[in-house]
Each structure stands twice: as structure tokens, then as C-alpha cells.
């Protein structure tokens, strides 16, 4: 096995931790990465277009709830962490890890503008000896078809004097059992040398790196993980509607089925799916599959079911109000939980927002309570000028309906049940009662 001088130098700098590690995009994926490398003893450089994030990092302050400022300040005080909006400093790190969003267009097609825009900002400053890793979820072929050609056009030979890998993020915000270090890391390189360099980099902060044969295999691995979840959630969401028509509690049924010690993995229904992965990633594969003349009907059907859940919740609420002689127009509706999952402050693609939007269109008077989201954040598609209200006897009693959409651990279900007139429960959190409607 012949190792180029650039690879030898890169591996040596990783081994003695003299390498500078750059992370581009300092959100829910980039922040834990940059912290992990700094805590492992590397000097790190964060790059982001958001000056507010950069300023907070340089001051040792957190902007994501489940990352404590003390953890950031500890590495800043040691001189291990710096951050900037100046992309000319991209020449400084030996490794650059891209962690930027990959959303969908309005036509539900891949939007790689954040990836290509980032590459455009980095390209003038790339130099021999560097490694570039893409962690953003995307369709198979992106790394070698979109990132590789512009880098090679600079006269850099991949695998000899520049290294390119794809290693998808697997962060699960606020998960108490799994963090950056103990979540295995899939990695595919554009060449064998790229794979070796990537593995050397990531194994300094991650217990187990899982190499695969190519960047395309790594890209499809990430999509498979999230499509698996999306399809199974779609299945239980459909079964929820069937069980409801039969006057059965789907959560009771799932809990019973989960006692089988083999051949069954429990998934749970809800008001829809949120976050930056499950609502989006399946459509990256369906789009790419069309280029091969394939129609991914199974995946798309699950997507349709999951996307219909917010409307189903609103319909259940409307029928429950009608039974009490109240129209939805003018009804006071208190939303419990704005974040897309419990115990986090992340509202990306949250079904709660869509439920609020649907209710607003029908004339409901909306308020919300979320201990992790004190004010409704700025969003591109929809905006509510609201702040989280206190959850008191008065706010519960004054609401015509309370809709549980995100079951944060901080919620006192007994307190809510005592004081709410009508509860729409989308998470199976409340016991059967006269004022509880399962949705």
C-alpha cells in the first residue's frame, strides 16, 4: 500500500493532535462535533454565516439548550476553540467538516444550495493536504458528483494530495444514552486513501468508525436509516386511524405487541413527523430513484400518510368541539409542545407548527406552552407573533381545548388533566377520561 506524502503528513498531524479541525455550520450537528474535537485536545475552528452563533461561541456561550455554556467555555478558555464568519480562514484547518442543511424545494426536490454555496465559499481557500468531509444528509452520488469535480478542477488530485469523504451525522438531540462518542460513525471515501484519512480523523472522537466501500454507499446508508423510521411511523399512523374507528387505543395495542421478544420493534404514532431528517430524507431517495426509472411507491405512500397527520388531529379537535356545541372558529386552543420532539428546543419541520397553521386558517385563537421554546422562532414559511404562556390553572381552564403535540418530560399530566376542559392527546400520555380525546 503506497501512501502519498500528503497522506503521511495528514495522518501524523491527526495522531499528534497538531491538526486544526474546521467545522462548517455550527448548528445541531456542527456544535457537538466542534466540542468533541476540542475536548479531545485538537484546536478547532468553527465557520458559519451566522454572526450571532460565532459571537456566542467565542464568548463561551451556548445557543442550543441541551449544550451547557460551561462546556463551551471550558474549551474556549483553554484556547482550543475559535469561530469566524471569514471563510478565507478555511485554509487553516487540516480537516473541514461540512454540516449544513439539505432541505427540500417547494416541489419536494433536493435543495443542495447550502452545500454548493458552502463549497463556493471554501474553494478559493482549499490547499493541498486537507480533508473535506460532508455530513449533510443527501442522495447517493452527491459527494462524488457535486463536490469532487470543482475540487479536482483546482488541480488537486483526490487520494494523493486532497481527501474527500462522506460521513453522515447521526445526532439525536437530548438523547441521554447516545452522544457523539458512542454512536458508531459510517464513513465512505472517494478513494481508499480518502477512507483511511477520514477514519483516522473520526476515530479520535468516536468509539467505532464503520467504513463502507464508497461515498455513495454511505449516502444511501443514511437515507435507509431514516426511511426505515419514516415508513414504520407511517404504518402506525395508519393503524392509529384504523384503531380509532374501532374505538381501540393504538398505544395499548403497541405496548402489548412490544412484549414479543423477537420479530417486532415498536414505533409510535403522533401528530406528524418533524426534525430535519425524517420528513425530508425519504424524498431525496425518491427523487434520485426517478433518474433510474424507478418509482418508490412504498416510501411515498408512507410520506403521504405522515403528512396527513396534522390535518387528522385538527379534524379530531373540530369534531370534539362540535360535540360540545362550539365551532372551531373563535375557539381558544392551547398547544402543548412546539418542538418537533420531546425535551429539545428544535422546531424544524415540527408538526406542531402545521397544526397551529391549520387552526389559524379556521379562525381558532391559538396560544402555546413549551418550556424549551420561550418565543415562536423566525421561520421561512410561517410566523406567529407568540410567546410561550405559563401553564397555570387559569390558562388551562380558559382554553376550550388543550392539544398535546410534544410530550415534554416537564409536563405534569395529572395537573393538566385536572384543569383542562378538553384534551386532544396525540401521544398516548393521558389515561382514558371524559375530557380526553385520543388523536
Q: What is the pLDDT of residues 151-183, one digit of tens each?
A: 999 999 999 999 999 999 998 887 889 989 999
- Please determine, for residue 419, whether its predicted confidence score (pLDDT) is greater than 90: yes
CA angle at 282 for the pair 107 and 135, rounded to the nearest 5°: 100
Separation of alpha carbons 241 and 47, rounded Å: 46
Cα→Cα distances 101→26, 116, 136, 142, 276, Å:
11, 11, 6, 14, 8
Beta strand residue intervals within 62-198, DSSP E: 81-84, 95-98, 131-134, 163-166, 185-189
Tally of CA atoms within 13 A in the half-sphere of 430 that contains its CB: 27
> What b/e string do you get for 215-231 counting C-beta neighbours within 10 Å, with b at 16 or more?
bbebbbbbbebbbebbb
Whose CA is closest to 221, among 159, 285, 147, 302? 285
- How far is 284 from 103, CA to CA, in rounded Å? 9
CA 262 to chain centre: 29
DSSP β-ladder status, 332-336 and 43-47:
unpaired
- CA distances to 103, 242, 406 from 248, in Å: 37, 9, 22
Question: Bridge-partner residues for 188, per DSSP?
Answer: 166, 212
- CATH numbers and ranges of domains, the chain: 5-213 (3.40.50.720), 233-438 (3.40.50.720)
**Whats the size of the chain, residue-wise?**
439
User: What totals of helices (H) and strands (E) does the chain contain, helices first?
Assistant: 15, 13
Phi-psi region of 423 (alpha: psi -120 to 50; beta: other; left: phi over 0): beta
Helix, strand, coil tally for the chain in percent (to 5): 40, 15, 45
User: Cα 124–218–135 angle (5° rounding)?
Assistant: 45
Can you give the pLDDT at residue 201? 98
pLDDT digits (tens, 9 = 90+) for 225-244: 999 999 999 999 999 999 99
What pLDDT, on a 0 to 100 scale, did the predictor assign at position 286? Answer: 93
* 188-221 pLDDT per residue, tens: 999 999 999 999 999 999 999 999 999 999 999 9
- Mean pLDDT of the region 343-369: 95
User: If you average pLDDT over residues 405-415, what whole number do you get?
Assistant: 96
Q: Which residues are catalytic?
A: 277
Supply the mean pLDDT for the chain.
95
What is residue 167's predicted lDDT score, i.e. its pLDDT? 98
Residues 94 and 127: their CA atoms lie apart, in Å, by: 9
Q: What is the pLDDT of residues 69-122, one digit of tens each?
A: 999 999 999 999 999 999 999 999 999 999 999 998 888 899 999 999 999 999
Q: What is the mean pLDDT of residues 36-56?
A: 96
Q: Look at residue 275 and tell me whether its pLDDT is greater than 90.
A: no
At 122 the pLDDT is: 97
pLDDT of residue 192: 97
Per-residue pLDDT reduced to its tens digit, 308-341:
999 999 999 999 999 999 999 999 999 999 999 9
Confidence of residue 407 (pLDDT cuts 50, 70, 90): very high
- Of 240, 241, 263, 262, residue with least CA distance to 253: 240
Amino acid at each position: 500500500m503506497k501512501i502519498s506524502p500528503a497522506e503521511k503528513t495528514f495522518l501524523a498531524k491527526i495522531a499528534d493532535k497538531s491538526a486544526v479541525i474546521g467545522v462548517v455550520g455550527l448548528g445541531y450537528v456542527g456544535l457537538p462535533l466542534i466540542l468533541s474535537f476540542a475536548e479531545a485536545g485538537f484546536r478547532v475552528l468553527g465557520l458559519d454565516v451566522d454572526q450571532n452563533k460565532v459571537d456566542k461561541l467565542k464568548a463561551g456561550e451556548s445557543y442550543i439548550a441541551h449544550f451547557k455554556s460551561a462546556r463551551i467555555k471550558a474549551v474556549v478558555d483553554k484556547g482550543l476553540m475559535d469561530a469566524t464568519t471569514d471563510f478565507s480562514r478555511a485554509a487553516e484547518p487540516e480537516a473541514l467538516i461540512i454540516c449544513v442543511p439539505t432541505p427540500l424545494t417547494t416541489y419536494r426536490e433536493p435543495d443542495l444550495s447550502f452545500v454548493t454555496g458552502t463549497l463556493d465559499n471554501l474553494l478559493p481557500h482549499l490547499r493541498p493536504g486537507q480533508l473535506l468531509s460532508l455530513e449533510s444528509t443527501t442522495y447517493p452520488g452527491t459527494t462524488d458528483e457535486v463536490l469532487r469535480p470543482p475540487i479536482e478542477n483546482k488541480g488537486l488530485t483526490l487520494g494523493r494530495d486532497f481527501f474527500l469523504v462522506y460521513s453522515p451525522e447521526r445526532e439525536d438531540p437530548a438523547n441521554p444514552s447516545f452522544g457523539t462518542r458512542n454512536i458508531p460513525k459510517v464513513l465512505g471515501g472517494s478513494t481508499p486513501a480518502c477512507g483511511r484519512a477520514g477514519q483516522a480523523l473520526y476515530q479520535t472522537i468516536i468509539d467505532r468508525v464503520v467504513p463502507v466501500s464508497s461515498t455513495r454507499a454511505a449516502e444511501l446508508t443514511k437515507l435507509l436509516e431514516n426511511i426505515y423510521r419514516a415508513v414504520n411511523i407511517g404504518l402506525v399512523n395508519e393503524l392509529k386511524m384504523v384503531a380509532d374507528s374501532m374505538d381501540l387505543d393504538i398505544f395499548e395495542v403497541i405496548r402489548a405487541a412490544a412484549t414479543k421478544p423477537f420479530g417486532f420493534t415498536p414505533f409510535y404514532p403522533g401528530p406528524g413527523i418533524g426534525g430535519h431528517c425524517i420528513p425530508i430524507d425519504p424524498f431525496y431517495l425518491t427523487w434520485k430513484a426517478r433518474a433510474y426509472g424507478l418509482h418508490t411507491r412504498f416510501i411515498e405512500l408512507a410520506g403521504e400518510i405522515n403528512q396527513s397527520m396534522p390535518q387528522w388531529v385538527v379534524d379530531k379537535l373540530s369534531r370534539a368541539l362540535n360535540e360540545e356545541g362550539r365551532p372551531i372558529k373563535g375557539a381558544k386552543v392551547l398547544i402543548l409542545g412546539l418542538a418537533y420532539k420531546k425535551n429539545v428546543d428544535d422546531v424544524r419541520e415540527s408538526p406542531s407548527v402545521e397544526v397551529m397553521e391549520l387552526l389559524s386558517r379556521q379562525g381558532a385563537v391559538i396560544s402555546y406552552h413549551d418550556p424549551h421554546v420561550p418565543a415562536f422562532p423566525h421561520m421561512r414559511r410561517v410566523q406567529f407573533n407568540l410567546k410561550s404562556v405559563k401553564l397555570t390553572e387559569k390558562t388551562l381552564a380558559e382554553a376550550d381545548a388543550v392539544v398535546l403535540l410534544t410530550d415534554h418530560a416537564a409536563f405534569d399530566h395529572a395537573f393538566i388533566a385536572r384543569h383542562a376542559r378538553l384534551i386532544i392527546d396525540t401521544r398516548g400520555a393521558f389515561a382514558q377520561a371524559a375530557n380526553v380525546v385520543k388523536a
